[in-house]
Structure 1
Amino acid sequence: MTENDDQPGAFASPPCFAHELRETPAGFAAGDGAATADLARWRKAERERLIAMRLATAVDERARVADEVAAELDKLVDVRPGLVVSLYWPIRGELNLLPWMRSLHERGLRVALPVVVAKAQPLVFRAWTPDGRMERGVWNIPIPADGEELTPDVVLSPVVGFDAQCYRLGYGGGFYDRTLAAQPRKPLVIGVGLPTMRIATIYPQPHDIPMDVIVTGKGQITRPETRR
């Protein structure tokens, strides 16, 4: 992880559907009304709080958790040649799994990185190799410049926050939800992050797609407890 990884102003995925929501006595639900802004404000404030907490976590601690997460992923993922795994390029204190990404390539798996092609459109997954040409994509995130588009069997998604139902609080753009909904076949979706990013609830909405599992360190696996 470099110093630039912790700099603000770049996002793994941009801002979601919070502007379409309203608050009800049972929580937040889709619709119109003054409370539309309430959920947007809450998620924005929670996002900022959690990102600040993540950035305040010592680099050595984040590296330790990343190593533990990588070891757990080796148990969760069917590591076999030809399997397509989508990862991410770490920013803003996200767990740096680039060494594990390289190890997957060395073991014969196909690795992809998500690429934003247009606002409000699903991501595409472009093949990555250690010697492949990279360029700066949206929000200056490195992406493969000309890799083949792949359909992932496994998608790793960094979390800003998460809850016991395995719903992910991201950066707000809704890109992962939109992308997963558009996949021709359902991949195994794994959220990764620091254990301190767990919150009581993200107030999931109809468009929110839960992770299958969230990994936050050695033996720290969160599977959905209940679903709405």
Structure 2
Amino acid sequence: MSAPDYIQQVSSAAEQLAAGNREDNATGSFASPPCFAHEIAPSYFDPLGADPQQATDVARWRKARRTSLLQDRAALPVAKRHDASLAVARTLDRLLAERHGDVAGLTVSAWWPIKAELNLRHWMEDMTGRGATIVLPVVTKPGTPMIFRTWRPGCRMVQGFWKIPVPAEGPERIPDVTLAPVVGWDNAGFRLGYGGGYFDRTLAALRPRPFLIGVGIQSARLSTIFPQPHDIAMDAIVTEFGLQCRTKP
């Protein structure tokens, strides 16, 4: 089977599963758990496969979907993105309370919003007020894992990689919880990012491994991102519609 045919077959199978779930959801029941990747026959797709042509076709497909999703997100009204940020913050509070109880003493990595990403700075300020430590990712050298530096309201910021503001100074911290912005996401917990690989390299290097939460908008859901060997699944996906997928307790 050619790589383009393979992509079409997996997309068709995943869309059929998603359609079945949507029909069942309308009646208040579920045909399968929120993460239904296990229902796709292994013969359709081997996530550990290393076929060069397959990888090339997946990369081209991702680039096209990334461009489309970023355009759609940028077209959302500011008020709608603001409301989505507030809804996501409420879900994050519930998820962290369920997992950790009191957030005091917890180190959570977030992000400084760019490219119409959800703006969680109000939530970051609230978390610091409740005793948590917020850290932001910092690129110290192109192509290497990022470090995390403490952020607090009013701290001095400098222009970092991609001209993203980062804390100017402070010790490195290893987060207990890592929030990863997603351009796209699927119900198996995989995220489509900006294509630079920085989050995947960073998450692969972090020890101990933090609890990973992908954060994005509901309309960015994909049937699959066609995960490759370097992709790391999130432990949970959160959108303005609430907790969408949880792959780890």
> TM-score band (shorter)?
0.7 to 0.9
Classify the secondary structure of the residue corresponding to 2:67. Answer: helix
- Aligned pair partner of 2:65 in 46, 58, 63: 46
Q: Is 1:134 matched up with 2:157?
A: yes
Deviation at 1:223, TM superposition (A): 2.2
Classify the secondary structure of the residue corresponding to 2:114. Answer: coil
Unaligned runs of 5+ in 2: 7-43
Larger relative contact order (CA 8 Å, sep ≥ 6): 1
Q: Which amino acid aligns with 1:179?
A: T
Please give the residue correspondences for 1:30-109 in structure 2 after superposition, counting only pairs within 5 Å. 30-31=49-50, 33-77=52-96, 78=100, 79-109=102-132
Distance 1:48 1:105, change over 3 A: same
Q: Is 1:212 matched up with 2:231?
A: no
CA RMSD, 1 decimal: 1.9
Q: Which amino acid aligns with 1:103?
A: D
Whole-angstrom distance in 1 between the partners of 2:222 and 2:241: 19
Deviation at 1:40, TM superposition (A): 1.7
**TM-score w.r.t. structure 1 length?**
0.84
- Partner residue in 1 for 2:178: 155
Please give the residue correspondences for 1:21-32 in structure 2 after superposition, counting only pairs within 5 Å. 23=3, 25=6, 26-27=44-45, 30-31=49-50
Aligned length: 204
Are 1:23 and 1:29, in contact at CA under 8 Å, matched by a contact in 2? no
Deviation at 1:34, TM superposition (A): 4.1
Q: Which amino acid aligns with 2:131?
A: G
Whole-angstrom distance in 1 between the partners of 2:192 and 2:184: 5
Deviation at 1:204, TM superposition (A): 0.3
Q: Which runs of 4+ in 1 moved over 6 A?
A: none
Q: Which amino acid aligns with 2:197?
A: G
Whole-angstrom distance in 2 between the partners of 1:68 and 1:201: 24
Whole-angstrom distance in 2 between the partners of 1:196 and 1:106: 32
Are 1:164 and 1:224, in contact at CA under 8 Å, matched by a contact in 2? no
Percent identity, aligned pairs only, is 47
Are 1:85 and 1:155, in contact at CA under 8 Å, matched by a contact in 2? yes
Q: Normalized per residue, which structure has more helix?
A: 2
Give the structure with higher Rg (CA): 2
Distance 1:160 1:144, change over 3 A: same
Deviation at 1:37, TM superposition (A): 2.9
